[in-house]
Structures are given as C-alpha cells and as structure tokens.
Amino acid sequence: MPRHGLVELDAVLAIARRGSFRAAALELGISTSALSNALAKLEGELGVRLFNRTTRSVSLTDAGRTFVDQVGPAVGDIHDAMEIARSQQETPSGVLRINAFATAAREILSPLILRFLRLHPQVHVDLVTEGRLVDIVADGFDLGVRSLDLVPSDMIAIPLQSPRRFVVVGTPAYFQRHDPPCVPPDLMRHACIRIRLPNGAPYRWHFEKDGQPVQIDVRGPITLDEFTLARQAVLEEVGLGFFMESDVRRDIAAGRLVRALADWTPLLAPLSLYYPGRRNPSAAFTAFTAMARKFAPDCP
C-alpha cells in the first residue's frame, strides 16, 4: 500500500490555498516542477484528479475539495507536533517566514533581521515583500510586519520603532529652478515621480494638516513601481518624489535632497511585528521576538 509523504500533502494544501502553482511553489520554497511532480505522484497513487488545471486557472475538483477538507486539519496537527518538538531545542534553527511591505522590510532588514542572523546562523529567514495586506496564518507565515494601526485585533503586536512619516523631496538644484510647494495643490505645478501600486492603480500622495486630509494625483514625466528607481529619478532632477523618511534620511542629511511640505506630513503609526498566539513556539521564533522587543531603541 503506498505511503503518502508530507511533501505531497503540503503541495496539495498550498496549491488549494494559493490558487496558483507558482505561488504555492514560492510558499513551500521548491520549484514549480517539483511541486507538479509531487501532485502528480499523489494523484497517481490516489487514482483521482484533485485539481482542474488550465493555462489560466487552478481549481479543486469535487474529489479534491473533499480531500483537502479531510486532510487539512490532520496535516496542521502534524506541523503543530513538529513545532512542539522543535521548541524543545535550545539552539535556534529552522526557517522563519516573514511577510512585510517593501518599505517596512528596508527599515528592519539591517538592524533587526541581519543582526539576528549573525547571532543565530542556523536560522534561515524567508522574507517576502508585497504591497497587499495578507492573512499571515492562511498564507503560511510565522510573522508579519505592518503599521501598528493595521495589525488585526486578534494578533500579538510588538512596536518596532518610533512613529514614521512620509516626505516630499527634491534636489537643491531643482528648488533653485522652481519655487517649493507651500500647500499640496501646488504640486500640480511641479514635475513629480508617479508611483504605481501593485494592483496597477496610480498612488495618490496623501497629506494631512490640522485634521484636514488631502490626496493629490500628481503629474510627471515617469511612473515607477520600485523605490530605488524613484529615488534615482529624483536625484537626477527629473522631479519631486514622495518617500518614507527612512528611505531618504541619509540623502537629506548629506544635502543631496531637500524636504518640502514638512508641515503637511504628520507622524504615522510605528511599524510593528505581529503574530498569532503560540503555545509552543520554536527556539528561533522565541529568539527573534525577544530581539524585536529590544529593537525600538536601535531604530534610526
């Protein structure tokens, strides 16, 4: 009688959860071919097709839906038992999966994550950055990083730093040629680096003063979706940019960039590490959250 391994079962559950072979393979840290082979092996042994597959979509068959409903809780219990066993070890090891916005990841990478890895070389951190809000439990993450005001109420949150803010910046040479904006609508007379959101929509620069919010759909010669490209465009005097202050703090301190509209960019909620309650956390998880609780004093 064939014996089904956890890899094959994890493959089925990941595909069902993500609705995509590529996304499931990324979640499991394997190639799409290895994922397809695991699924094909299991379907062959069961003698039934678990997924309907086309070039554009993946969906569970009726048999697959029944299989996932029955197997999912059992596989979850197995993983919980493995986590309990790992929690007994004294040396942190294994994989920690963390989900974060790209801006948040840049803020914590060096002072928290890389410092942690130097102290605990047997741990592997799988850091996934994306612009959308995710359910870290459903998507298989151990931890998430987002603004404190966006953390779900049923999660445990660890504030990582003092409040943050956005900044509007341009080069000194740009402001020698153009009068700095005094209020957000003045931006419509300036060239600005437009930002495209992950869903394809243009990002509106948002401001607030005395409780009055303002959103500006800026105009400019170029639209980008990556921070380093936008920063390069601003430094080369293409126009003004809108960034998290932490991303351009060194440029401002060195005089390469100058702030504008400072009184319209109030403080935001601090970044927070968050996670669901765990009765038997692994040694790696415990060590990472302990370091995170000491992180705030070291933040820039």
CA distance 49 to 69: 15
In this predicted model, what pLDDT tens digit does every residue of 214-258 receive, in sequence order? 999 999 999 998 889 999 999 999 999 999 998 999 999 999 999
Do the bridges between strand 123-129 and strand 94-100 make them parallel or antiparallel, or are there none, so unpaired? parallel
Domain segments of the chain as ranges: 6-87, 94-163+269-298, 166-264
Site of tokens 């999660």:
155
In this predicted model, what pLDDT tens digit does every residue of 127-153 receive, in sequence order? 999 877 888 988 889 999 998 888 988
Provide the pLDDT for residue 289.
Answer: 94
Provide the pLDDT for residue 162.
Answer: 72
Region of poorest pLDDT, from 71-85, 97-111, 164-178, 275-289? 71-85
Please give the torsion angle defined by the CA atoms of residues 148, 152, 154 and 159, in that order, rounded to the nearest 10 degrees.
-10
Centroid of chain to Cα 191: 30
Q: Is the pTM of this model over 0.75?
A: no
| pLDDT for 191 beyond 90 | yes
**Backbone torsions φ then ψ of 258, nearest 5 degrees:** -125, 140
CB of 268 within 8 A of CB of 167? no
Distances in whole angstroms, Cα of residue 184 to Cα of each of 191, 242, 263? 13, 12, 10
CATH class of 94-163+269-298: alpha beta
Q: Answer with the residue of higher pLDDT: 78 or 285.
A: 285
CA distance 284 to 124: 9
- What's the rounded mean pLDDT across residues 12-17? 91
In this predicted model, what pLDDT tens digit does every residue of 19-61 receive, in sequence order? 889 888 888 888 888 888 989 999 888 899 999 888 778 899 9
Same fold, 6-87 and 94-163+269-298: no
In this predicted model, what pLDDT tens digit does every residue of 240-250 receive, in sequence order? 999 999 899 99
Sign, Cα dihedral of 64, 67, 73, 79: negative
Mean pLDDT estimate for the chain: 89
Type of residue found at 289: T
Alpha helix (H) residue ranges in 169-268: 172-177, 227-235, 245-253
- What's the rounded mean pLDDT across residues 278-282? 77
| pLDDT for 17 beyond 80 | yes
Can you read off the two tokens belonging to residue 121? 């070389």
Site of tokens 């493959």:
11
- 111: Cβ contacts below 8 Å, ≥ 6 apart: 295, 298, 299, 300
- Give me the DSSP letters along 115-157: HHHHH-TTEEEEEEE-SS---TTTTT-SEEEEEGGGS-TTSEE
What is the CATH number that goes with domain 6-87? 1.10.10.10
Fold of 166-264: D-Maltodextrin-Binding Protein; domain 2 (3.40.190)
